[in-house]
Chain A
Amino acid sequence: MPKLVYFAWVRERIGKPEEQIELPEDVRTVRQLLSHLKTLGEEYEAALQYPEVIRVALDQEHVEHHEPIGNACEIGIFPPMTGG
């Protein structure tokens, strides 16, 4: 069961910094994960309204939305970065 970690306005809208979630077997790619999360409630819907802008990291490495989740232990979900 992967740990999901949220940052910045994704964290604020979902209302928690992290959680462990059992994913259905048909959720295989990052895109499918984001679509699935959107169905979990209106706070998720608010955070992931525009999934195309959301960035995802598997075990702390950036991935594209078409990529498989595989056996990732930690899935980071966050807005575009604004450091520097």
Chain B
Amino acid sequence: MTAPSVRVQTQDFELQVEIEALTHDRRDIGAVVTFTGLCRDEQGSLSALELEHYPGMAEAEMQRTAELAVERFSLLGLTAIHRFGKIAPGENIVLVIATAPHRQAAFDGASFMMDFLKTSAPFWKKEHKADGSTGDWVAAKDADDRARDRWR
């Protein structure tokens, strides 16, 4: 088992580099599941999302969740990266990679990590509109709480 790797950063990440960091020189991994969350613009009115975070607590909360996931699903490795700052539609926001001997643990580990990250890691999204105006703060969704609660 590898200790989970958690990062909060402004710069983008590279999926292949992060997978390689978890799988290099290992023969025991049978499954790698990755989730990438992107900034999306459904109405064509968004210029960017601004991601604010609570420095220190964001990393700590992601680390706590990552350790729970590794323990619960016996993961061989877990990487979670969350960006902050201004992120344009089409750009990456978050990456989770879970590795395990078999697929179900890797799927569940990645899913658990994302569900808890969304509801407990201190990040907030604010909209910047294409017309130059500042939009609203994105509202939290009940569906995200329900997604988290199915793991209880």
Interface residues of A (CB under 8 A from B): 5, 7-9, 57, 60-62, 76, 78-84
Contacts and interface: CB of A to CB of B under 8 A. Distances in A.
Contacts, number: 73
Contact of A84 (B54, B60, B118, B139): B118
Contact of B140 (A7, A60, A61, A79): A79
Nearest to A9: B137
A60 B51 contact: no
Nearest to B123: A83
Contacts of A7: 52, 54, 122, 124
Interface of B: 37, 51-54, 56-58, 60-61, 82, 93-94, 114, 117-126, 137-140, 144
Contacts of B60: 60-61
B114 to A, nearest CB: 6
Contacts of B126: 8
A81 B124 contact: yes
B124 A79 contact: yes
B57 A84 contact: no
Nearest to B114: A84
28 contacts: A5-B54, A7-B124, A8-B52, A9-B137, A57-B57, A57-B122, A60-B54, A60-B60, A60-B61, A61-B57, A62-B120, A76-B57, A79-B137, A79-B140, A80-B140, A81-B121, A82-B118, A82-B125, A82-B138, A82-B140, A83-B51, A83-B58, A83-B82, A83-B94, A83-B117, A83-B122, A84-B94, A84-B114
